[in-house]
Chain A
């Protein structure tokens, strides 16, 4: 019975939380800019609006464009069911690090191909910048997760992020380094500031919005929802890393830990909102320097993971 209840709560969370999290980020940013801002449920209302709108499809596109939204939706749901981005996620199957990374890569491949399918300069431009950014951050993402895995001697994300895993119980430094590496990497992967401005479609900010420009109507509903869930999963994962760094949390009972993990996700989203409000979008040629900091965090966590065996 508790298992059924847990599944119910989790599924409701998966359906409703993504648009609300985008709403939270926008609300925090608006508050920082001294505006009242739209309600945190506005993205949810936007999604419902897309459901009832008509769709325009370019005559140049092929089955790749028309199916990419559905394929990405399926992939992100599989990822959200596997990756332990909140502690109350029920166990489905073992979430291998490399499987998750390559599921993300599959999503990226479909997005890039859909962008090239329309034959527009916007899509092509966004696609080429997206693969360049992926090239720079993929090692960082893999190395952050792999260094956590090396210390806990398993590549299953659920076991790494579980609070029953004693190998990682007293490693605040490693969790902080890996968590900040994951956070910076997620900023790049999700095209948030300072990498890309999610609110405009100008040449300056062409990475994500340019790729999904051709979508409309229900296709756009799927695309926006997929992006929001991906955002929640990635920032949720970094939130879990930060939560694991706080020593007293390890002593709490399971229910409180689940609640704390939800709270950590909320705080991380607020942090993203603050960051959006404070930072400026970087010029394209300065981005490798910013991404280098994410790689640095990953390399430092690798150093800690390798040196950890020798003790102090």
Chain B
């Protein structure tokens, strides 16, 4: 290491990565042997070391540079500061939950999983995500970004016997290639402008830096899953095994958003065009994501679309902070950025929780389709309690953490509506308040559907009726994350104080976060619990002999089968018919029978939806690309003479260019 005084806590950080690297190597060596508990222990110990290092390093800025140089361009350099610590803490907590969850979950995958392959990729994934967050120069960033992309593609393809998994992995790989290409372009341009690879030397406030900033923004949008680049997300996240989905949705998209904050916001870009474009894209992502989530039958695809929505909300808050800083409203800009970072933290927590819950369901019932679930409240009570907590958190209901971050965003928009200088700005702010409440109502519908159809009512299939509770490790992982949701909700002022240094750096002014969050969540929780206790004791007491258990009211037909229950598609049908032009929604019904008007024998109902973006944007683009490729194929004639001609012409051009320059 270069001779810089490194505090001991940083050694703890490095040891975490070292442990993970050793785990990866070990996994490659052990191959087919199922040492899940061992590797989970390695993952967990790495996470604990990481947490220890972060607590030790807090809140100072520490950086280091190693002697190892990548490709002769830039050394492996890193830096730990409050912003990086927050995201690394998220990584550590999610990693611990995944470590607790994995042994029980992977046991059910059985022979479809190659343990060495899986664990090696997982360790590399965790390591690379951590190093991307810590990286201090562009080359380190790119190297670990690529390792992160490749390892996550391989993890998506874990169950590669399934065609859908292979297809999703390919689509995801295409998206990461384009994203990396744009990032490389942006980095090269910025290196040309500033002459160095280090992030701290890049200042994006000049007009010349607008285009590279736009390139970086586009590349990171693709990776974060912003509309219209989000199409890979609903393919990739559901196909991966549940722990991996939790890490991808919970942490990886946050890494992309972290990079956006680090490079563009803290890099000083005050470009209004970029910020307004980001605001538009973010708003559309929020509405689009939750609308499509509501229409999904597959539980994990529903959660993936909901990730698109929340990423849109985080980007909205980030773009708002840039715009507010440019409008000379630094306190509101700080509030907005606090909302963005806090929501990133919260979403990481509750989305991982929800994905782990979906994984527990999958391992128990072997299906993710909502039409075959239901009635799991008796058999899987702990999973249901944790999933319910995650749903309450994601719907932004008090007193959990989702409400706090959404409240901060609402307050930013509300205060902008009377503090902004021009009428259009105020109109946009108040309009966004309306859009935000629409998104909130849609997500309430979506997660009421997810919890209600998946867990409540009567079981819709034999698999659901025979389901058993998840293993202790899986429940512990979910309980850990649920506890974090509650903790984050009750400790909001403390967390905002942790974010204060980042906010001060972003708005170039000292920021006091004491007055930001004024809702007493703990008091509300206590009052609610007290009143609930009052209700139960005073009113609902003495039920004993006069409480009778009977079937659900069935209009006198006798016990109705589970087919008469509400299904996921029928739950979302009224909303779908309102948004029918956007979703291209149609319900096709066919009634069969000899006298089908009076005595129908078979009724078939199909819900048809055409994915708008894929049909109208991506498929034509891919088709055009194929046409272009076919046209270029004609250049490849196979004739040696023509190839020699090409070489000669290229030589002429290069000589001419070399002489001119």
Contact = CB atoms under 8 A, between A and B. Distances in A.
Interface stretch (B197-205, B446-454, B590-598): B446-454
A59 to B, nearest CB: 5
Q: Which of B395, B426, B444 has the most CB of A within 10 A?
A: B444
B655 to A, nearest CB: 65
Nearest to B431: A302
Contact of A146 (B375, B388, B414, B550): B414
Contact of B565 (A121, A135, A221, A284): A121
Contacts of A61: 552
A281 interface: no
Given A123-B566, A307-B423, A143 B433 contact: yes
Point out which of A59, A71, A73, A153 has the most chain B C-beta atoms below 10 A from its C-beta.
A73
Contacts of B556: none
A164 to B, nearest CB: 19
Range class of the B interface residue count:
35 or more
Interface string A113-128: 1001111111111011
B377 interface: yes
Contacts of A112: 448, 452
B519 A113 contact: no
Nearest to A116: B452
A217 interface: yes
B553 interface: yes
Given A128-B574, A310-B423, A99 B398 contact: yes
Given A128-B571, A143-B433, A214-B552, A221 B444 contact: no
A70 B410 contact: no
A299 B562 CA distance: 44
B458 A119 contact: yes
Given A113-B448, A129-B574, A102 B398 contact: yes
B329 to A, nearest CB: 14
Nearest to A146: B433
Nearest to A221: B539
Interface string B458-489: 10000000000000000000000000000000
Interface string B526-569: 01111110111001100100111111111000001010111000
Given A108-B444, A112-B448, A138-B441, A128 B407 contact: no
B428 to A, nearest CB: 10
B392 A118 contact: no
B571 A60 contact: no
A150 B378 CA distance: 48
A117 B566 CA distance: 11
A192 to B, nearest CB: 19
Contacts of B562: 119
Nearest to B445: A131
A78 interface: yes
Contacts of A71: 528, 532
Interface in B380-419: 381, 384, 388, 392, 395-398, 403, 406-407, 410-411, 414, 417-418
B438 A222 contact: no
A51 B539 CA distance: 8
Given A77-B531, A131-B444, A120 B433 contact: no
Contacts of B448: 109, 112-113, 116, 127, 131
Interface string A138-168: 1101110011011101010000000000000
Contacts of B535: 69-70, 73-74, 222
B546 to A, nearest CB: 3
A168 to B, nearest CB: 13
A257 B527 CA distance: 30
Interface in A203-227: 213-214, 217-219, 221-222
A101 B444 CA distance: 13
A125 B543 CA distance: 29
A97 B547 CA distance: 40
B552 A119 contact: yes
Interface string B569-585: 01111110010000000
Contact of B434 (A59, A106, A134, A139): A139
B494 interface: no
Interface in A229-286: 284
A55 B407 CA distance: 40
A66 to B, nearest CB: 9
A96 B433 contact: no
A222 B539 contact: yes
A266 B532 CA distance: 30
A213 B553 contact: yes
A51 B535 CA distance: 12
Contact of A93 (B410, B520, B536, B548): B520
A34 interface: no
Contacts of A127: 448, 452, 566, 571
B548 to A, nearest CB: 5
A69 B539 CA distance: 11
A69 B573 CA distance: 27
A13 interface: no
Contacts of B519: 96, 99
Contact of A138 (B437, B524, B548, B553): B437
B546 A146 contact: no
A33 interface: no
Interface of A: 51, 53-64, 67, 69-71, 73-75, 77-78, 93-94, 96-99, 101-103, 105-106, 108-109, 112-113, 116-125, 127-129, 131-132, 134-136, 138-139, 141-143, 146-147, 149-151, 153, 155, 213-214, 217-219, 221-222, 284, 288, 298, 302, 305-307, 309-310
20 contacts: A69-B535, A73-B532, A74-B530, A77-B531, A96-B407, A109-B395, A112-B448, A112-B452, A117-B377, A119-B565, A125-B570, A131-B448, A132-B578, A135-B441, A135-B445, A143-B430, A151-B418, A298-B434, A302-B431, A305-B430
Given A127-B452, A128-B571, 14 more contacts: A54-B547, A62-B381, A98-B410, A116-B453, A119-B562, A124-B566, A132-B575, A138-B441, A141-B437, A142-B433, A146-B414, A217-B546, A288-B578, A302-B431
Going nearest first, the 4 A-B pairs with the smallest beta carbon separation are: A124-B566, A119-B457, A116-B452, A62-B377
